[in-house]
Structure 1
Amino acid sequence: MHHMKLKLMLSIIRFNPHPAPPLNLHCRRRFFCTSTSIHHSHWSGLHHWRHSPLNHDRFWGPKGPIQEPNETEINPSSLKSCFSLAEMGSVVLTTADPLTKAKLSHMAYTKWRQEGLPIGASDPPVSPARPSKPQLVSPKEIPPPKSSALPLNAYMLHNLAHVELNAIDLAWDTVVRFSPYIELLGEGFFSDFAHVADDESRHFTWCSQRLAELGFSYGDMPAHNVLWRECAKSSNNVAARLAVIPLVQEARGLDAGPRLVNKLIGFGDDRSSNIVAKISDEEVAHVAVGVYWFVSVCQKMGRVPGSTFKDILEEYNVEVKGPFNHVAREEAGLPREWYDPSSANKEEENNKLSEVYDRLTCVISMEQENSNLGI
């Protein structure tokens, strides 16, 4: 059984650790324990978020989020034949209509929570189903605000809606794709990312509602496929998936959120700014979940999280761009030295000093053992 688990671990985490220092076995064990047991502070609200009741506030009312009045029910026939979380996730991924995808996402998470269904296992589609609009183009082909047919507030909401729609699929793909490895990752991993998918579906619904109030709809301007392309890169590596999506892509949302809120206020659209501010606040949980599970996976690999994060970004050619919202990132538990080069240099010096200390400790320990043996 242990051998099987090890093979599974290697199949989902193909990132090879750096060779250990050329020390004897006793010293290697001491070095390993010291290097990988560094305390990491997680988001203080993580426990409360995990145990919060189901959130049915799918409508943005006059003063904030509320349950939608006169909500039209979707016949969840596609979910009736599903008996696990992973199966329902596959249904969401293969649903093309954006609003239906968002509603099914919430219904799937609700059904799983209320009925106590297992995680199960399922095969994800190669790529999620998408509507005919928006047209997907390269980022360089996205028209600037002045050249688009949308006013600035609708333009920004459309871009955010596209991010949130992709985020629904990114979270469900993580649940479904890695569902065969529940024994290694644990049920909490899948529970967290299904919860993230539910949050993102609510966010998309708010953006879509506000666009409709402004006389527009999702699909009225082109969008890019960068988010899903980054997701596809990490389809065979759970450590890379966590690094690239929550810790890079979603962390960018923490950086952009306050700027977007200020632009909407400057445009005179307080209602949209309130929606974006609420979404931005809730995204802290999603980055925090990514940090929590990335650290957990690194511990299983016997790797130091900070250096592993940098190695993965280099291998997958992922660039981390500023300006950074250091306050929000720190709140989510994302250490500055992981992504900020100016902080990273100082951290590297500290790590080198720590390695020297560990080796000296090993040498002293060996000398003491040899002395006790009369050598």
Structure 2
Amino acid sequence: MHSVKTMLSTHFSLKFKAFSSSSSSVLNHHHHPQWSGLQNWREGPINHNRFWGPTGPHPPPPLDVELDDGPIGSGCSLAEMGAVVLNTSDPLTKSKLSHMAYSRWRQQNLPIGVSQPPPRPARPLKPPLVSPKEIPAPKNSGLPLNVYMLHNLAHVELNAIDLAWDTIVRFSPYIELLGEGFFADFAHVADDESRHFAWCSQRLGELGFSYGDMPGHNLLWRECEKSSDNVAARLAAIPLVQEARGLDAGPRLVQKLVGCGDCRTSNIVARIADEEVAHVAVGVYWFVSLCKKMGRAPGSTFKDLLKEYNVELKGPFNYSARDEAGIPREWYDPSSKNNDDKKEQLSEVYERLACIISMEKENSSLNSTPD
């Protein structure tokens, strides 16, 4: 165990150093935009509203017994409990354990600790995982359109629980490099995602269906696996690409559900989309922080990583939600980058002109002597 950890640590450090020295880009030290609600989100109380009531989120009914024993109850650290969540195959149990792990870590002030993630998270027998091309079209799925869309969202949220815990557990040996705040933020994200899955699962049940009634794709986990050796790549691929896609898709999904006449589901989806802003903002915050440590410019580093790890960026983009979360447009939109470059070049030209004009003025005042 010790030798594996040492090997992992050495490999990670080498990868980190190699990447940080692979470009001559220097970090732009201008203040980076940040989501205005980030600090409030971090400091907020633990959210126990895991049941969707008649008017919105509520704590679950008393019959929904919390799992207060078992491996989460005896876990000694956040990373250890995270590994338990990753190794749990039943989706609703995974969701509950995720909330318990986060709550227990915060309430009992447990350490981050160190653990190892499984090669891939445990999954139930249903749904079968297929390639994105094999996912049936809505009309061939055998499900009503609103249920089809809700099932897809439930699948994304279940994966998101595992993506957050994998980030915590996989990079737990590097707490000195990353700092405790990194793990606190991703544990909070894991808790949010587990609540989102609980809402989706509850609503599927109310509509007479359940998670697993149609196949799911393994695209999200594949993106996660690509970035398992580099924390900067993980931040780029997951919060800044995959979760940002949720910001793009959320409003469209809400409109489609309203069009189906399913306002209850559309309200759930609207709340989930709203809460995803925090998760993208967390990704931006830690990506910029890591780039500072590497002496790299975040924008060019983001693009370099997407190219190196073969991560695809797809529009259409929800600019207002992305702006709110703090992702600069020039990171993901080439047309915006060109405009920014032109603005920078023009401002440099104006600065030079201003400098020349002031020098000319100084020279002329020095050379002008009274008659």
Q: What TM-score do the two structures reach when normalised by structure 1?
A: 0.87
Question: Is residue 59 of structure 1 aligned with residue 51 of structure 2?
Answer: yes
Contact 2:82–2:165 (CA under 8 A) maintained in structure 1: yes
Change in Cα spacing, 1:352 to 1:94, as seen in structure 2 (3 Å) is farther
Match in the other structure for 2:315: 322
How does 1:172-183 map onto structure 2 within 5 Å?
A: 172-183=165-176
1:38 deviation in Å? Answer: 2.5
Match in the other structure for 1:50: 42
Q: Give, as a single letter, the amino acid of the residue that structure 1 aligns with 2:166.
A: D
Query: Pick from 291, 296, 314: which aligns with 1:298?
Result: 291
Match in the other structure for 1:362: none
Change in Cα spacing, 1:300 to 1:352, as seen in structure 2 (3 Å) is farther
Change in Cα spacing, 1:7 to 1:154, as seen in structure 2 (3 Å) is closer
Change in Cα spacing, 1:7 to 1:317, as seen in structure 2 (3 Å) is closer
What is the rounded CA distance, in whole Å, between the counterparts of 2:299 and 2:131 in structure 1? 31
SS at match of 1:36: coil
Q: What do the CA deviations read for 1:203-257 (whole angstroms, capped 9, x no partner)? A: 0000000000000000000010000000000001000000000000000000000
How does 1:203-282 map onto structure 2 within 5 Å?
A: 203-282=196-275
What is the rounded CA distance, in whole Å, between the counterparts of 2:220 and 2:346 in structure 1? 38
Query: Pick from 79, 83, 95: which aligns with 1:86?
Result: 79
Q: Which range moved further: 273-282 or 310-319?
A: 310-319
What is the rounded CA distance, in whole Å, between the counterparts of 1:119 and 1:339 in structure 2? 33
Change in Cα spacing, 1:334 to 1:78, as seen in structure 2 (3 Å) is same
Question: Is residue 145 of structure 1 aligned with residue 149 of structure 2?
Answer: no
1:274 deviation in Å? Answer: 0.2
1:78 deviation in Å? Answer: 1.2
Contact 1:9–1:184 (CA under 8 A) maintained in structure 2: no
Q: Give, as a single letter, the amino acid of the residue that structure 2 aligns with 1:288.
A: A
What is the rounded CA distance, in whole Å, between the counterparts of 2:285 and 2:338 in structure 1? 24
1:37 deviation in Å? Answer: 1.2
1:20 deviation in Å? Answer: 3.7
What is the rounded CA distance, in whole Å, between the counterparts of 1:315 and 1:356 in structure 2? 34
Q: Give, as a single letter, the amino acid of the residue that structure 2 aligns with 1:332.
A: A
> CA-atom RMSD, angstroms?
2.1
1:351 deviation in Å? Answer: 6.3
Contact 2:20–2:296 (CA under 8 A) maintained in structure 1: no
Match in the other structure for 1:368: none
Match in the other structure for 1:158: 151
SS at match of 2:160: helix
Question: Is residue 344 of structure 1 aligned with residue 337 of structure 2?
Answer: yes
Q: Give, as a single letter, the amino acid of the residue that structure 2 aligns with 1:262.
A: Q
Contact 1:253–1:283 (CA under 8 A) maintained in structure 2: yes
What is the rounded CA distance, in whole Å, between the counterparts of 2:204 and 2:37 in structure 1? 31
Change in Cα spacing, 1:6 to 1:277, as seen in structure 2 (3 Å) is same
Structure having the higher Rg: 2
Change in Cα spacing, 1:177 to 1:12, as seen in structure 2 (3 Å) is farther
Query: Pick from 177, 198, 201: which aligns with 2:194?
Result: 201
1:346 deviation in Å? Answer: 2.7
Q: Which range moved further: 327-336 or 7-16?
A: 7-16
Question: Is residue 72 of structure 1 aligned with residue 65 of structure 2?
Answer: yes
Change in Cα spacing, 1:282 to 1:231, as seen in structure 2 (3 Å) is same
Change in Cα spacing, 1:90 to 1:8, as seen in structure 2 (3 Å) is same
Q: What TM-score do the two structures reach when normalised by structure 2?
A: 0.88
- What 5-or-longer segments of structure 2 have no aligned partner? 1-8, 351-371
Question: Is residue 15 of structure 1 aligned with residue 19 of structure 2?
Answer: yes
Match in the other structure for 1:167: 160
Alignment coverage as a number of residue pairs? 342
What is the rounded CA distance, in whole Å, between the counterparts of 2:300 and 2:340 in structure 1? 10
Match in the other structure for 1:110: 103
Question: Is residue 38 of structure 1 aligned with residue 68 of structure 2?
Answer: no
Q: What do the CA deviations read for 1:147-194 (whole angstroms, capped 9, x no partner)? A: 111101110000000000000000000000111111111000000000
Q: What do the CA deviations read for 1:310-334 (whole angstroms, capped 9, x no partner)? A: 1111111111111110000000000
Q: Give, as a single letter, the amino acid of the residue that structure 1 aligns with 2:79.
A: A
Q: Give, as a single letter, the amino acid of the residue that structure 2 aligns with 1:97.
A: D
Identical-pair percentage: 72
What is the rounded CA distance, in whole Å, between the counterparts of 1:235 and 1:353 in structure 2? 41
Q: Give, as a single letter, the amino acid of the residue that structure 2 aligns with 1:167.
A: A
